[in-house]
A and B are shown apart, each in its own frame.
Chain A
Amino acid sequence: MSSASQIKSARVATGPRWIVPVKIVVFVAMLFPLARLVLLGATGGLGANPIEFITRSTGLWTLVYLCITLAITPVRRLTGVTALARFRRMIGLFAFFFAVLHFTTYIWFDKWFDVAAMLKDIGKRPFITVGFAAFVLLIPLAVTSPKAMVRKLGRRWQTLHRAIYLIAALAILHFWWMKAGKHDLELPKIYGSIVIVLLGWRVIAWLKARRA
Chain B
Amino acid sequence: MWIKQGRNLYGDDIASHEITPRDVFENRRRTLRSLGALAATGLAGASGLAHATLTSPDAKGQKLAATTNPKFVALDKPTPFKDITSYNNFYEFGTDKDDPAAHAGTLRPRPWKVSVEGAIKNPKVYDIDDILKLAPLEERVYRLRCVEGWSMVIPWIGVSLSELIKRAGPTGNAKYVQFITLADPSQMPGLSTPILEWPYSEGLRMDEAMNPLTLLTVGLYGEVLPNQNGAPVRVVVPWKYGFKSAKSLVKIRFVEKQPPTSWNLYAPSEYGFFSNVNPNVDHPRWSQATERRIGEDGFFQPKRKTLMFNGYGDQVASMYAGMDLKKNF
B294 x A48 contact (CB < 8 A):
yes
Per the bound structure, the CA–CA distance linking A98 and B196 in Å amounts to 33
A112 touches B303 (CB 8 A): yes
Q: Point out which of B82, B270, B302 has the most chain A C-beta atoms below 10 A from its C-beta.
A: B302
A177 and B266 form a contact (CB under 8 A): no
A126 / chain B contacts, CB cutoff of 8 Å: 285
Known A51-B299, A112-B302; judge A127-B285 contact (CB<8 A).
Answer: yes
Give the contact stretch, choosing among A6-14, A25-33, A179-187. Answer: A179-187
In contact, A48 and B292 (Cβ under 8 angstroms): no
> Are A47 and B87 closer than 8 Å at their CB atoms?
yes
Q: Is the CB of A124 closer than 8 A to any CB of chain B?
A: yes
A117 touches B287 (CB 8 A): yes
Tell me whether B294 and A49 are in contact (CB under 8 A).
yes
Contacts of A48 in B (CB 8 A): 82-83, 86-87, 97, 294-295
CA distance A117 to B270 in the complex (A): 20
CB < 8 Å neighbour of B285 from A47, A109, A117, A125 = A125
In Å, the complex CA distance between A28 and B95 comes to 33
Interface residues on A, range: 20 to 34
- B87 CB to nearest A CB, Å: 3
Complex interface: chain A residues within 8 A of B286 (CB): 121, 125
B112-144 interface code vs A (CB 8 A; 1 in, 0 out): 000000000000000000000000000000000
Contacts of B86 in A (CB 8 A): 47-48
Q: In the assembled complex, which residues on chain B have CB atoms less than 8 Å from the CB atom of A112?
A: 302-303
B residues within 8 A CB of A184? 95, 195
Residues of A within 8 A of B95 (CB): 182, 184
**Does A140 sit within 8 A of B, measured CB to CB?**
no
Interface of B is mostly: loop
B18-41 at interface with A (beta carbon < 8 Å): none
**Bound complex: CA A120 to CA B282 (Å):** 11
CB contact under 8 A between A49 and B97, given known A110-B303, A112-B303, A124-B282: yes
Chain B residues 63 to 86 lying within 8 A of chain A, measured CB to CB, are: 82-83, 86
Instruction: Output the least CB separation between A154 and chain B (Å).
Output: 42
Q: Contact at A181–B150, with CB atoms within 8 Å?
A: no
Name the CB-closest residue of B to A120: B287
Docked-complex contact B195 and A181, CB < 8 angstroms: no
Measured in the bound complex, the distance between the Cα atoms of B294 and A124 in whole Å is 26
Given contacts A110-B303, A182-B95, A183-B196, contact A49 B150 (CB under 8 A): yes
Q: Determine if B292 and A49 form an interchain contact, defined as CB atoms under 8 angstroms apart.
A: yes
User: CB within 8 A of B97: which of A47, A124, A183?
Assistant: A47
- With contacts A110-B303, A112-B303 taken as known, whether A47 is within 8 angstroms of B98 at the C-beta atoms is yes
Who on chain A is nearest to B82 by CB? A48
- CA A146 – CA B255 in complex, angstroms? 68
Does B323 sit within 8 A of A, measured CB to CB?
A: no
Whole-angstrom distance between the alpha carbons of A31 and B83 in the complex? 29
Closest to A184 in B: B95
Would you call B292 and A181 a contact (CB within 8 A)? no
The answer to the question of A50 belonging to the interface, with a C-beta cut-off of 8 Å to chain B, is yes
| A125 CB contact (under 8 Å) in B97, B284, B302 | B284
Name the B residues within 8 Å of A177 (CB-CB). 285
* CB neighbours of A124 from chain B (8 A): 282
Nearest residue in B to A54 (C-beta to C-beta)? B299
Find chain A residues with CB under 8 A from B282 CB. 124
Q: Which residues of A contact B302 (CB under 8 A)?
A: 112, 114
CA distance A181 to B268 in the complex (A): 11
8 contacting pairs across A/B (C-beta < 8 A): A47-B86, A48-B87, A48-B97, A49-B294, A51-B292, A109-B299, A114-B302, A181-B285
> Given A48-B83, A120-B287, A183-B195, 19 other A-B contacts at CB below 8 A?
A47-B87, A48-B86, A48-B294, A48-B295, A49-B87, A49-B292, A49-B294, A51-B299, A52-B150, A110-B303, A112-B302, A112-B303, A117-B289, A125-B286, A177-B285, A181-B267, A181-B270, A181-B285, A183-B266
Complex A-B, nearest 4 residue pairs according to Cβ-Cβ distance, in ascending order: A48-B87, A112-B302, A48-B83, A184-B95
